[in-house]
Every structure is written in C-alpha cells, then in structure tokens.
Chains A and B, each alone.
Chain A
Amino acid sequence: MADSPQPLKARPLSPFVTIYKWSPTMASSITHRITGMGLALGTVFLAWWLIASANGPDSYGPFMTVAAHPIGQIVLFGFVWSLSFHLLNGIRHLAWDMGYGFAVPTANGLSVVIFALSIVLAVGVFAYAYAAQRGLVP
C-alpha cells in the first residue's frame, strides 16, 4: 500500500441532528423517544405509590408530601403530559405501520395536532384534579 505523506484532513462526518431544518415530524419523533424515557423514570414513582399504599399511613404520608410539593406537581405534570403525548403519537405510529398518514402535509399536520392535543389533555387532567380536590366536581 502506498503510504500517505500528508496528515489526514478532518473528514466530513455523517450529519448530526443539529444540521437539519426542524420539521414537525422530526420534533414529534424525538419527543416520542424522550417522553418514552421519561415515562420509564415514572415507573419508579408508580412502584413507590403502590408500595407506600400497601405499607400503611406511615409510608403513604411521605409519598403524598412529595407528590403534593410544587416540584412533585411539576414532575407529575411532566408524567401526565408524557403519557398523553406518547399515547396519542403511539396510536399514530400504529396507523403508520398499517400504511396510513405518510403524506408529508398529513404527517406534519398531525404532529402539530398531537402536540396541541397532548398539552390540552394534560392541562385538562390537571385542571380536573385541582377542581376535584377543592370539591368543585360532583
């Protein structure tokens, strides 16, 4: 083999995510994965809730304190929104698997709709929960 006397220049790498113009489908795809990973963390909270309930008031109290704390509420809102988004976008993924919804305007439009619907759903769930806490819901 002929040796190359010149040092190798930095070769172009395959493009990373930062080089692309953002599209709604790209955002929803990345968000699907991030919400999935967030929900995986949420399973720790779910297990804690079940264990705390099973072990009586002494262990249920600390759970409720954390859940009712403003930071706990923000985290819980994150889980509710993540589940809303992952559920709605997951249904869309199943439609894609059956061959529907691939036209670019449809795919982009649905991405925006799913973002909007997931936020509406999460805010609605939280509004209902706060109203129920204050006895405003029959």
Chain B
Amino acid sequence: MSLETPMHRVQGFGSAHSGTQHFWRQRITAVALIPLSIWFGVSALGLVGARETDVLNFFHHPWNAGLMGMFVVIMLIHMMIGLQSVIDDYVYTAGWKLVCLLLNRAFALVIGVACLLALLQIAL
C-alpha cells in the first residue's frame, strides 16, 4: 500500500518540476524537423559558393522564406528543450541552474529574432 496521498501523486513531479510537456514537444518538433532539416540541407548544398545575390534570390521565393522560417523556429524550440535537459542533468546548484536556464532561453531568443529579422529583410 502506498503512503502517498492521491494529492501528492498529482502534485509530485519530482526533480523535473514539470510533467511530460517537454517530452512531447521534443518529439513533435523532432518529427517536423525530419523533412525540414532535409530541405535545409539540400537547399544549403545548392547554395555552396553562391554569391550573396543568389542567396537573396533564393529567399525572395515565398516558399523558401517560409520553410526557412519554420525550420529556424521549430529547430530553436527543439534546441532549447535539448539544452535544458543537458543543464538539468549536469548543473547541480540552484543558482547556477537558474542562470544557465535563463541564458539558454536568451540564446534561443536572440538567434531566433536575428534569423527571422534577416529573413524578413530579404523576403520583403
């Protein structure tokens, strides 16, 4: 017989402090990233050694700008969750953990905003 009350079972997420949201989000983004990263790889290979006008022409196409935007956003969400699980595993002290988790979010946000602004600048 368990000594846990039903309420404790509901509230007790353990050291992760949260439920399965990250688990699911990581897998949903992973599925989306299979076609998107193959598209990105093939596209980047097509732009090897390209002049910057070739890159501009490529992203002027709405399909390419849209797919690149989706790739960047979904990939950065996947990256943020992945890096957070590394931080959760290896950073033990609460203070440093908080600092690392905030830096992790800031990094994803800065890279995301930079990529999307550059894409908008090219596409518009």
The contact of B111 among A33, A44, A90, by CB within 8 Å, is: A44
- Asked if B45 is at the interface of the complex by the 8 Å CB criterion, the answer is yes
- Asked if B79 is at the interface of the complex by the 8 Å CB criterion, the answer is yes
B52 touches A43 (CB 8 A): no
Given contacts A37-B83, A40-B83, are A50 and B115 in contact (CB under 8 A)? Answer: yes
A37 touches B76 (CB 8 A): no
Given contacts A36-B82, A94-B31, are A43 and B118 in contact (CB under 8 A)? Answer: no
A56 touches B30 (CB 8 A): no
Q: Whose C-beta in chain A lies nearest to the C-beta of B104?
A: A40
The contact of B34 among A47, A50, A91, A129, by CB within 8 Å, is: A91
Q: How far is the CA of A80 from the CA of B42 in the complex (A)?
A: 11
- Asked if B19 is at the interface of the complex by the 8 Å CB criterion, the answer is no
The main secondary structure of chain B at its interface with chain A is helix
The main secondary structure of chain A at its interface with chain B is helix
B79 to A: closest C-beta gap in Å: 5
Q: Whose C-beta in chain A lies nearest to the C-beta of B52?
A: A60
B79 touches A53 (CB 8 A): no
B55 touches A39 (CB 8 A): no
Q: Please indicate the chain B residues that have their CB under 8 angstroms from the CB of A94 in the complex.
A: 27, 30-31
Interface residues on A, range: 20 to 34
The contact of A43 among B31, B33, B34, B75, by CB within 8 Å, is: B75
Give the 10 A-B residue pairs with the shortest CB-CB distance, closest first. Answer: A60-B52, A50-B118, A53-B55, A54-B121, A54-B118, A129-B48, A47-B114, A51-B118, A43-B111, A133-B49
Q: Whose C-beta in chain A lies nearest to the C-beta of B55?
A: A53
Q: Please indicate the chain A residues that have their CB under 8 angstroms from the CB of B30 in the complex.
A: 90, 93-94
- Asked if A119 is at the interface of the complex by the 8 Å CB criterion, the answer is no
Q: How far is the CA of A46 from the CA of B119 in the complex (A)?
A: 12
User: A-facing mask of B20-41, CB < 8 A → 1, else 0?
Assistant: 0000000100110110011001
B115 touches A125 (CB 8 A): no
